[in-house]
A and B are shown apart, each in its own frame.
Chain A
Amino acid sequence: MKTGNNSFLSSVFFEKDKRWLFIWVTALCTVGIWDVLFLNKPALGKVVTGFVNTFVIAALVVSFTLLIGWGLTIALHFLSRKKNKTGYIILTFFLNILRSIPQIVGVLFTYIAIAALITSGKATSGILIFPIMAVCMSLFIVNELVDLMRDRIDHFMKLDFYNAMRVCGIKESRIINFDILWKNSRIHIFNKLIAVFGSAIFLQCSVDFIISVGLSSEVNAVTLPVTLGSLLAKIDSKQDILAIGNTLTNPMYFPNLFFSHLLGVTVAFLIVFSLVCIYHISNGYAERHRL
């Protein structure tokens, strides 16, 4: 008979998503312990703040994407079934505009709006800035989730499933929300949200890096929350990254990376390794559930 520990270990060993989640968490813990031992306190504080901010914002993006996506899907479904299609056309037009803007460009624009809010003093606390950033980012990601959820609804509407429930007098809102989306699509939705989490980290880091490196000092002066992307753009990190390049021609310098250039190496590792792990977790989850 399998014990609880054995089944946990076997699932970590045989199931790709759980294996990569385990690898990710283990790597984060290892890097954390290493940094506590060898990274100076001010830099360590920055890494921790950047890491927490990045992942909190990404988690908020996931939450808002789910809320907005679910709401939009339901709205589109019911508007599409009305005789008067005006509402449906307007909403589809709005979503298509969002779809036509590359995500990274969209997020850059929203940062400009956030910067304006901060400089005008309307948004000063991190508690307010985080959700605003997350909502803006989720607007440019939400189409992916809406498309998935609408595909699922369309699939079930083609089957007898949908009509068999309707002729029993079951409310359409229950069929869509509970029977189709919750009971039959939550695995698909969760898998998409894992990918959204990865996209949010990538977009955030990319845009923060671009803003911190390339924009004028006036915008830079705005106190946007420290994230892994903005940390990577800091001069110390850049030197650390250059040091990694240096090891290609000077391999003997390699051990110094883990002691003298820990800030840049840690930040780069956290971004890249997290994205790789999330990619594998998402793939493994899809494989495990045969999506």
Chain B
Amino acid sequence: MSIHHFNIKVATPQRTIVAIDDFPLYDNHITFLFGESGIGKSLLSKALYGLLDTSDLTVTVNDKPYCDHLNSRWACDIRNNSFFVFQEPSSHLNPLMKISEQLNEGSLENIDDTEIMEYLWQHSTDSTLNTIREVYPKPYRPSGGEKQRILIAMAFKKLTAFMENRDADASSFFVFDEPTGSLDNRYRNLFLNLLFSKFCKRHFSAVIITHDYSIISEIYNSYRNLVPFVHFKELSRIDECKVSVDDFSADDYLNWLNKSQWTDPPVSQTADNRVLEVAPEFSIFSRNLCIYKDEARTVKAPLIINKGSVVYLKAPSGIGKTTLAKIVMGIYKSDSFKMNLCGRSYNEKSHESLWHKEIWGKKAGMVFQHADESLNLQATVKETFDALKERMTVDLNTQLNLLFKQNIIDLIINKKVAYLSGGQKQRLNLLRTFALNTQLLILDEPLNGLDFVNVKKVLDLLNKLRLGGTALLMISHNEEIFETLIDKNNIFYLSEK
């Protein structure tokens, strides 16, 4: 196995964005790269692939100007043989070209994509796939998951072309940046299966950037024979701009997962302890939705959360988990809905002012999915908490200490939120809501963008809150983690009627 070592620095005229002394790239192996959001995983991969724009950025690779790297044999090779799947599929696809045309871009018209498409869509009917092929990628059609699969299909076409390449010495560098971010576990596993089946036919180099730690279990369960060809790495921060790639111990993750389980505190299931009860049927935007107790969606049940317990709400992407959370929080007006929160009933006719007077920041708080959108990026960290002073029972420093080290707090306290990394923003997003000390906490994707160390910290903190009597409603695509942590009786399923 040969390893390429790269020293990379990306800077603007004002500051260094990211710098790394040794970014290892394993030839003909697959590397899974973890790390908190915003730390520089995508940027470093783009720098290596030759995708950065030097009119805005100064880039050096192995202490040489970027153009030297771009003109190197390796870079030329990978541009011919490889593919970069971008994190945000919408920005990759051209809205003015049909999907079929885009699938053939890069001299790939001779590569048959039927098999790849059929596999990724799990559909063999021509008409379904032809419909997708004839679509112009507009914002809402195809869906996010379909767009992601289209990009993956493009990458696999390129991979097929590489496998047919007779040059045995040709270098490859396939980058998949969050390829499964919009896919549920079923489609994620299809992607992994396709990836490893191609890898078995001819080895290639690939870096898969992801936050989905449950991929580790899937690989250990289904592709154990390929583990010697797989590397788990984590990008971690050394100082404000310098990062390093370290080994990520798959065993640590698997051991932690096996040991983790939250047990409900011994509280009686009486109405006195009931924090939230949502009637099983509700409708919104002319859609009728239903909450079920079983995965087969046969037993309708009200969603009940007692003091100190945690409920995990499961549903495929786009069904309406966040919508239900927003109805509970009075952000969306439903067509029909009934709930009881802390002993008081609310329904679709309840006026918005009731939520304002009784619920927001008092009985319930909600952590929104995207920290980038839900925080004021132009405010400083201190200003983010200024408006909550009256409700906070501890001072700001103590609150931040729950998820930040003191030296980091000193660095960021007067910094604009915009300048924090994605993971730091997510922790701030969580702490803002935790500071309210509400009886009910709704958490929409609380582990988004966090590295493993912080995943554990956040889960410990949530467990403490829970043991302190806070009721938690969890919405997350980290199925493996939450299915392990949460008692099966506390898992509910949402589906259309």
- Residues in A lying within 8 Å of B, measured CB to CB: 159-161, 163-171, 174, 178-179, 183-184
Contact = CB atoms under 8 A, between A and B. Distances in A.
Contacts of A171: 387
A165 B360 CA distance: 9
Contact of B373 (A160, A170, A174, A179): A160
Contacts, number: 63
Nearest to A184: B378
5 contacts: A160-B370, A167-B364, A168-B436, A169-B360, A184-B376
Given A164-B375, A167-B365, 17 more contacts: A160-B373, A161-B373, A161-B375, A161-B376, A163-B329, A163-B368, A164-B373, A164-B374, A165-B376, A167-B329, A168-B365, A169-B362, A169-B388, A171-B387, A183-B378, A184-B377, A184-B378
Interface of B: 326, 329, 331, 356, 360-362, 364-366, 368-370, 373-379, 383, 387-388, 391, 429, 432-433, 436
A167 B378 contact: no
Nearest to B383: A183
Contacts of B436: 168-169
A170 B390 CA distance: 10
B373 A167 contact: no
B361 A164 contact: no
Contacts of B369: 160
A166 B360 contact: yes
B365 to A, nearest CB: 6
A168 B361 contact: yes
Nearest to A170: B387
B383 to A, nearest CB: 8
Given A163-B326, A167-B329, A174 B387 contact: yes
Contacts of B383: 183
A179 B433 CA distance: 17
A179 B373 CA distance: 13
A169 B376 contact: no
Contacts of A161: 373-376
B417 to A, nearest CB: 10
B187 to A, nearest CB: 26
Q: SS class of chain A's interface: helix, strand, loop or mixed?
A: helix
A183 B365 contact: no
Contacts of B377: 184
A56 B430 CA distance: 49
- Give the one of B329, B376, B377, B383 with max A CB within 10 A: B376
B342 to A, nearest CB: 15
Contacts of B375: 161, 164
Nearest to B390: A169
Contacts of B391: 169
A237 to B, nearest CB: 47
A269 B326 CA distance: 59
A184 B376 CA distance: 8
Nearest to A166: B360
Given A167-B329, A170-B361, A179 B366 contact: no
A166 B356 CA distance: 8
Contact of B361 (A160, A169, A174, A184): A169
- Give the one of A163, A165, A166, A168 with max B CB within 10 A: A168
B331 A179 contact: no
A162 to B, nearest CB: 9
A247 to B, nearest CB: 45
A164 B387 contact: no
A11 to B, nearest CB: 12
A181 B370 CA distance: 22
B374 A160 contact: yes
A159 B361 contact: no
Contacts of A164: 366, 368, 373-375, 429
Instruction: List 8 A-B pairs, minimum CB-CB distance, nearest first.
Output: A169-B361, A164-B374, A183-B378, A160-B373, A170-B387, A160-B374, A160-B368, A164-B368
A179 B365 contact: no
Nearest to B416: A183
Contacts of B429: 164
A250 B223 CA distance: 92
B43 to A, nearest CB: 20
Given A168-B388, A171-B387, A183 B376 contact: yes
Contacts of A168: 360-361, 365, 387-388, 432-433, 436
A177 to B, nearest CB: 11
A167 B331 contact: yes
Nearest to A81: B352
- Give the one of B365, B374, B379, B432 with max A CB within 10 A: B374
A178 to B, nearest CB: 8
A6 B433 CA distance: 45
Nearest to A186: B378
B428 to A, nearest CB: 12
Contacts of A178: 387
Contacts of A174: 387
Contacts of A167: 329, 331, 360-361, 364-366
A235 to B, nearest CB: 54
Contacts of B376: 161, 165, 179, 183-184
A166 B361 CA distance: 8
B262 to A, nearest CB: 25
Contact of A163 (B331, B378, B379): B331
A165 B388 CA distance: 10
A167 B360 CA distance: 4
Contacts of A184: 376-378
A173 to B, nearest CB: 11
Contacts of B329: 163, 167
Contact of A159 (B362, B373, B432): B373
B114 to A, nearest CB: 40
B247 to A, nearest CB: 36
Nearest to B429: A164
Contacts of A183: 376, 378-379, 383
Contacts of A160: 368-370, 373-374
Contacts of A166: 331, 356, 360
Nearest to B329: A167
Nearest to A169: B361
Nearest to A164: B374
A164 B331 CA distance: 10
Contacts of A159: 373
A164 B322 CA distance: 13
B494 to A, nearest CB: 20
Nearest to B369: A160
Nearest to B366: A167
A168 B326 CA distance: 13
Nearest to B380: A183
B330 to A, nearest CB: 8
